[in-house]
Structure 1
């Protein structure tokens, strides 16, 4: 059972850094927060140097004063353990705590997250500060919970200090027990890489062409995740011991970290940091890109960890460091829009980053709700509007869950393996984007779910359609589970490069797509990566509205039909494999399975959606243009329809049945205008 935050109503919070401001500002800050219906503050996650200014000398008085005043104003407090920013005295005295690059060069003090998880000394010092901090604040009436560290694996998700090499060897010894098993898993007979002593084994190091053993590289990422969880466990165990009445979370979903395992083992729920304006830094070259709306995909991933969760940092202004991460100012309405984007996807506690823009340091351009001058601005007014609206609808929405009949399936092993493997990794990202984008534009809500060892048929059977695009690593056990899903009525869609690797990342000596070849009723006769001068075939799809000239992008597999019950849905129209199957369909039990021998593009996704006959979940209630995200949260028999306009212009909706917009109180039916960046939440409960 996935872990969720437990809130009685939608709750608004803000990140607050009292150490950045004169003490005489605090009371006015807290008064204004309460006027805006902000009732939670997060703080102290970067304050180690204040809490322990010298080794072994602690001072907890500062934050006691802050929390005493916060409590007087009815504010609750989330405390962050300060281990993301070790103080200068620590890194100077104990340089072994520092992380290193692949060449072994240490990252020096002056930034954040420059430590490694493996250092025994760092773990010891972290345990001391966390124990002292929890013991000092555990009985304060304002404190409700703890955030472990801050954004584990953010900014740096590879670790090559000497302590990491030592910890990696220990992890491998536990995983494989013997060098013979390790050598077999890593295929070290290739290029005479065979190890004869554990001391010969290292994480990735500088080498010719910078191309590591791919099986080592996969285990390296598994180790980094396990090591981060081990590091977090020290803190979680201490908090559970000393403050069992407080909840525990951590924030952000970053690379090389199994956030599902972390949550299952250590946390009460997961938290996400949502910055949709990042879409302006790395714009997509897709036609009709999702832009800031793409953050719904990230929120969907968080929802797979905790169906109801916290956004610990919600963008509340333009962002930027002095030298990078340059983001423009959100347009009027966008902060509110992004807030409800988070709420639609499962957020019940929304914490803005930050209360006031810092006047010093690296993040002086990472703006908060308030500007440097601390006078009212439109961001303050917009957040105050959200606070007022939370007061109206908060008790209705909290605990409600997102509704979806379609799921995009992923797993950590394939994501991590695909970082190095150019024959399937890039296909994954292209296909997931294409599917999520077209589902969004057709108003078909989708979940992003993660296949794990504990995933069972009940987890999958609630979805009518599952897309598992390019699962290169595939086991027979997974194939058996997916077969049962199809047999009981599910519709399953695979893409190219499925099922040709085992859990070590080695290729099977069996026809592709390996474990699911029998399920799909096909094998792969021929194939080519589409790269450089290699031509890409066009598609011929009878009975579909697929545009003429649509290409099968990324990779082309020529499918061989292995059974009379397999239908050819589309064929290649050009290249030397002209006329050969590109997309097949097979009925299995009560369901169907499709196999497509390429990466998915938007036109192909659209054609498949028509083939399957999927319709919008709220089609009986609203007709909306593609610019509007449509989704439903349901709770105890009540259904709430969210309409989010990401366009810079007003759009027209058709509300097909009489209903109420819970935010404005307006009765709606027929043609209705949704303003630029506007939001509506409609009660569509069947009475």
Structure 2
């Protein structure tokens, strides 16, 4: 639990170690700077309200300059200096990037691409997750670090490696091939079972010896789809096993120090099955960077929400985000005034008890020298550092929120890694399908209606939600199909979409018509998919928007996908038909009453605007409604964290205009201004937090 880390911090804002507090800090890389800068760093950290930093993330070459040579003196000095300044250390194991002496002596630790190319040193993370040679050297370093700093008073947590799998999730080397075969033996037991699961009767792929099996390396055509899916599963598991190896050493030597590693729940980072990793660490940590696009802050909120779902609703640690511009996008735009605070507090709203940045001081050299930091190139006399200091004060004001869990919403959006992996593989009806985008569109539509939703995994307790949205739930094992049926029949309301229910856990199609495993629950049958070309759209009847200049309603538009739906159950209502396209006149959106609940199907991509038109109809009978005044829905995002005796309402202005919220009761903790009529006024992009008694 992150509470263990909080309890180990040197002191609270009032000097009491037991006082609640939020973590505020950054990655700190003192080895990039002369010793004369270190004292100034600590002084500025105290000025900004920093109480914890991550150290030694990329320090292997400095700590171990040669195979049998160690240099801990500089790190001892840094640890002592930080402790004297009242700053805790989340100490990295320094294994993220092997030093040149190791890759020179042992090039066999370097990853290999699907095309057989070696990934050479010169950047970072150039190591094979399954390399026994790498593991031997890395775990030796971990043990040395743990023994040396086990009793250091600055140590508050261990940070395993860094962004595991960011650049080396898929390795196709001989080491990986051997480990993949071992993983497959454990999964299937026999070659007959593997051949059945992989459908090797197709294209003469039947295996008669385990040694014949390889990773899905560069092939003449589409590699076996189940082989691809299993290799994704194996690759995530291989890194998980490496995480466990480091963790076990740390727990043995320093049993009272919590262990974490930083996930990357953001964008298209999908190689690591984070819900499966979450139980391996003492608290979940995440790195997130705002992605350019029309849904940029919706994506931030979605990712923070999903991180909370992965953490089981418990508080988590925001290990990295940016104060301003990053360095790795095609065009790296600086954040606007107010964005630094809003981005940070959105994470807190969704359960983060720590707000940290990459990095403390902006590098003068190296690949990330144009990536923003808490202390920019301009120094402390800068708008960025002043905004950082203001955020530090805000987080101190929000200290009572520390430890509060996120209050469960009544709508859940299911996010499933197997479906993400499998639905976007090759040789499918459309290569344009984007699993994450469809889920994000539903989330944005709910935000536009002012409705709170949780982004959850299939491990969550589905009965906690009145409405369950499962977009592109492509992989549906029989057990999940039964659970969804039970959920609906006992009063839940399910919504799913195109390309859902199509295959089982082995990526075998459920026969008899689509949507396969969900066909009877939905009361429909589809014989053929109707994917749309990039330039094609279809119009739908029944979801017209506001009247246009000529008085006619604007029809909803579908893109990407259509389905040839036949209704097979009399309890099915058609909510919308196709007005145009190949399936004009046929159902586009259906809903079946089943037991005490319902199951709905959406056969095209409507985007956030179209889904916002559809959702009010889907919400009928669910008991779900917005908790915000009608005049601010869509303009303000509401998220709630709660303790046994208090609710903390986070109110986020999603617009670039001032917004007033009438009728809000409670004690303001930070942000907003109270008008004469009692309304809470939010400045553009401002976040306010209001405390209410627990009901």
> So what's the TM-score if we normalise by structure 2?
0.91
Q: Indicate the residue corresponding to 1:506 in structure 2.
A: 508
Q: 1:345 and 1:532, CA in 2 relative to 1: closer, same or farther beyond 3 A?
A: closer
Segment of structure 1 superposing worse, 608-617 or 112-121:
608-617
Give 1:468 deviation, angstroms: 0.7
Give 1:536 deviation, angstroms: 4.5
Q: 1:603 and 1:33, CA in 2 relative to 1: closer, same or farther beyond 3 A?
A: closer
Q: 1:532 and 1:663, CA in 2 relative to 1: closer, same or farther beyond 3 A?
A: closer
Give 1:427 deviation, angstroms: 5.1
Q: Indicate the residue corresponding to 2:493 in structure 1.
A: 491
- Tell me if structure 2 keeps the 8 A contact 1:83–1:149: yes
Q: Indicate the residue corresponding to 1:597 in structure 2.
A: 603
Q: Indicate the residue corresponding to 1:577 in structure 2.
A: 583
Q: Indicate the residue corresponding to 1:268 in structure 2.
A: 282
CA distance in 2, matches of 1:599, 1:559: 15
Q: 1:383 and 1:603, CA in 2 relative to 1: closer, same or farther beyond 3 A?
A: closer
Give 1:43 deviation, angstroms: 0.7
Q: Indicate the residue corresponding to 2:116 in structure 1.
A: 104
Q: Indicate the residue corresponding to 2:362 in structure 1.
A: 357
* Residue correspondences, number: 664
Segment of structure 1 superposing worse, 33-42 or 152-161:
152-161
- Tell me if structure 2 keeps the 8 A contact 1:623–1:655: no
- Tell me if structure 2 keeps the 8 A contact 1:424–1:472: no
Give 1:363 deviation, angstroms: 0.8
CA distance in 2, matches of 1:165, 1:391: 51
- Tell me if structure 1 keeps the 8 A contact 2:664–2:679: no
CA distance in 2, matches of 1:334, 1:19: 30
- Tell me if structure 2 keeps the 8 A contact 1:313–1:352: yes
Q: 1:348 and 1:565, CA in 2 relative to 1: closer, same or farther beyond 3 A?
A: same
Deviation string 1:29-51 (CA, Å, 9 cap, x unpaired) is 11221122111011101000111
CA distance in 2, matches of 1:588, 1:273: 41
CA distance in 1, matches of 2:287, 2:672: 31
> How large is the Cα RMSD of the aligned pairs?
2.3
What secondary structure, in the 3-state scheme, does the structure 1 residue paired with 2:530 have?
strand
Q: Indicate the residue corresponding to 2:95 in structure 1.
A: 83
Deviation string 1:357-379 (CA, Å, 9 cap, x unpaired) is 00111111012111235332111
CA distance in 1, matches of 2:377, 2:579: 61
Give 1:299 deviation, angstroms: 1.0
Deviation string 1:606-625 (CA, Å, 9 cap, x unpaired) is 233211247654325x8426
What secondary structure, in the 3-state scheme, does the structure 2 residue paired with 1:661 have?
strand
Q: Indicate the residue corresponding to 2:627 in structure 1.
A: 618
Q: Indicate the residue corresponding to 1:329 in structure 2.
A: 334
Matches within 5 A, 1:252-651: 252-253=263-264, 254-264=269-279, 266-276=280-290, 278-279=291-292, 283=293, 289-306=294-311, 307=313, 308-320=315-327, 326-421=331-426, 422-423=428-429, 426=433, 428-452=435-459, 455=460, 459-531=461-533, 536-541=537-542, 548-611=554-617, 612-613=619-620, 617-619=626-628, 623-624=631-632, 626-647=634-655, 649-651=656-658
Q: Select the residue among 116, 139, 160 that pairs with 1:148.
A: 160
- Tell me if structure 1 keeps the 8 A contact 2:509–2:516: no
Segment of structure 1 superposing worse, 677-686 or 69-78:
677-686
Residue 143 (structure 2) pairs with residue 131 (structure 1): yes
Give 1:144 deviation, angstroms: 0.8
What secondary structure, in the 3-state scheme, does the structure 2 residue paired with 1:555 have?
coil
Give 1:326 deviation, angstroms: 4.2
CA distance in 2, matches of 1:411, 1:39: 36
- Tell me if structure 2 keeps the 8 A contact 1:654–1:672: yes
Uncovered stretches (5+) of structure 2, i.e. residues with no partner: 7-19, 548-552
Q: 1:514 and 1:4, CA in 2 relative to 1: closer, same or farther beyond 3 A?
A: farther
CA distance in 2, matches of 1:174, 1:126: 26
> So what's the TM-score if we normalise by structure 1?
0.92
- Tell me if structure 1 keeps the 8 A contact 2:169–2:239: no
Residue 662 (structure 2) pairs with residue 655 (structure 1): yes
